[in-house]
Structure 1
Amino acid sequence: MEVRLYPNSSRPGLGLKPRREGQRPLLPQHARHCPVLEAGSALGFLVYPPLEPHESFHIEYQGEGRYQLIYFLNTGGEKWEPIFTVSIVLPIGSIGMMKEEVSFVSDKQAISRDTALGILRAFIVPEDLGTPPGAISLRGATNFKTPAGWDTVYTPIFNMIERPIAPMLVVRVETDWYPHETEFRYVLQPGEGIHGAHNMPIGQVFFVPREEVTVADCTKEELAAIQTSRQEFFHQKAAAKIMTPYGLEYSPHYLRQSRSRNS
């Protein structure tokens, strides 16, 4: 199955390509010896923002329909400098116009107001702000076109355990026919923010076939076979235990079985 990629319409060619990654930086050491955990982390692909290495941004929900985005540059490789901020005020009761106020912090970059707002729209979807309250939709650098009958599921990054983690609305889109621009809608509390960087993923995607799934109870014979298989597996798992140099005991039996069955 092949999924086709096409770039962010506002900033084509910028940002890292989607990648599959089974490791997470803050998981304990034993996670490296847990193949089912790493397989869960590696489901699908990590998606990155449309940023160059010397760019970053921070967007914060300030409460009462107010948001602020700060755009940073690090052209010298030593210090991140804020270039401009965009303050967004949503209309009360969804009646009226959204206000966008641009303030330039640095005079080192000659950027117009329209250019600043264009950069803002490459990173977020202003029309989605506040739906629900605190919501921020981050745009990805890459969009996906799936084969006929396959959908794309947009999720937060799996197995990220650091706190606090803003909740995200998971969506499933029929990307075989609908040209969906990749976005990840997080919901923040007042005072919370999200930082965007070139090498920092903003979400995860995986692909599922659009087919009906039915469930049925196992027969007595199937249950007996499952019980026998379980007992054999745990017996072989115990026999295959090894000790790491750091004193961690684990069994590679599941990983060996998985590789032999999928090779």
Structure 2
Amino acid sequence: MEVRLFSNSSRPGVGLKPRRESQRPLLPQHARHCPVLEAGSALGFLVYPPLEPNESFHIEYQGDGRYQFIYCLSTPGGKWEAIFSVTVVLPVGSIGMMKEEVAFMNRQPSISRETAVSIARAFIVPEDLGTPPGAISLRGATNFQTPAGWDTVYTPIFNMIERPVAPMLVVRVETDWYPHETEFRYVLQPGEGIPGAYNLPIGQVFFVPREEITVRDCSEEELAAIRRSREEYFREKAALKVMTPYGLQYSPHYLRQSRSQKP
């Protein structure tokens, strides 16, 4: 199957391409010996923000309808320097115009207020803020067009379990006909924020066919075959054990069987 890519409309060509990654940096080391866990992590593709290597941002929910976006650039010495902030204030009752307050950290800014707001809008969707309260939509660097009959599912990054973990609204979009701009909508508590960096993924996508799925109970013959298969698998797994240098014993039988199924 082929999925076509097109760039963030505000910053075309900026940001890392989507990629598969089976490992997670903060999982225990023994997760490397769990092929089903790594297969879950590698489902689909990680998506990155439309940032250059010398750019970063931080978006925070301050509570009471206030959100602050801070845009930063790296200095020659490698430190991050805040350039400007955009504070979005939602109207009372969420009805009416929202305010966008721009503050420059330099007394002689090199860009205008309008440019600062435009830069912020390349990374977040102000119109989605506060739906529901605390919601922040992050834009991806890459959008997807799927083949006919296939949808794109937008999710948080799988198996990132370190706390705090911001919940995210998972959506499924018919990207074979709808030119959807990739976004990931997280829901924060007051005082929580999300950083954005060139090499830091902001979400994960995978693709599913848009077809009806029927389920039925197994027949007695099928159940008997499943039992025989299970017994055979666990017998072969028990006969194949490997000891790691740090004393963990595991069986690579599942991984070997999985690889043998592939053409």
TM range (shorter): over 0.9
Structure 1 residue 96: deviation in Å?
Answer: 1.6
What is the alpha-carbon distance in structure 2 between the residues aligned to residue 7 and residue 50 of structure 1? 9
Q: How far is 1:117 from its partner?
A: 0.5
Q: How do residues 182-193 of structure 1 correspond to structure 2 at under 5 angstroms?
A: 182-193=182-193
Q: CA deviation at 1:75?
A: 3.7
Q: How many residues matched?
A: 263
Give yes or no for the alignment of 1:59 onto 2:59.
yes
TM-fit CA distance, 1:95: 1.9
Structure 1 segments (4+ residues) deviating >6 Å: none
| Stretches of structure 2 lacking an aligned partner (at least 5 in a row) | none
Aligned to 1:118: 118
Equivalent AA in structure 2 for residue 92 of structure 1: V
- Give, in whole Å, the separation in 2 of the partners of 1:230 and 1:120: 54
Q: Deviations over 1:61-90 (max 9, x none)?
A: 000100001100004142100000111100
Paired residue type of 1:3: V
| Equivalence for 2:38 | 38
Change in Cα spacing, 1:169 to 1:153, as seen in structure 2 (3 Å) is same
Root-mean-square deviation (CA, aligned residues, Å) is 0.9
Work out the CA distance in 1 between the residues paired with 2:54 and 2:107: 17
Paired AA for residue 251 in structure 2: S
- The code of the aligned residue for 2:158 comes to F
* C-alpha displacement of 1:111: 1.1
Deviation at 1:106, TM superposition (A): 2.2
Comparing 89-98 and 48-57, the one that deviates more: 89-98
> Match for residue 208 of structure 1?
208
Q: TM-score, normalized by length of structure 2? A: 0.99
Query: Letter of the aligned partner of 2:223 in structure 1?
Result: L
**Shift in Å, 1:250:** 0.5
Letter in 1 for 2:154: Y
In 1, Cα distance between equivalents of 2:180 and 2:77: 35
Separation (CA, whole Å) in 2 of partners of 1:163 and 1:229: 39
1:144-200 Cα shifts (integer Å, max 9, x gaps): 000000000000000001101000000000000000000000000000000000000
Q: What is the TM-score with the length of structure 1 in the denominator? A: 0.99
- Provide the residue aligned with 1:222 in structure 2: 222
Deviations 1:39-80 (Å, cap 9, x if unpaired)?
000000000000000000000000010000110000414210
Number of the residue aligned with 1:22? 22
Contact 1:138-1:184 at 8 Å conserved across structures: yes
- Give deviations 1:17-51, integer Å, cap 9, x for gaps: 00000000011111111110000000000000000
Q: 2: CA distance between counterparts of 1:151 and 1:77?
A: 44
Long gaps (5+) in structure 1: none
1:109: Cα distance to partner?
5.2
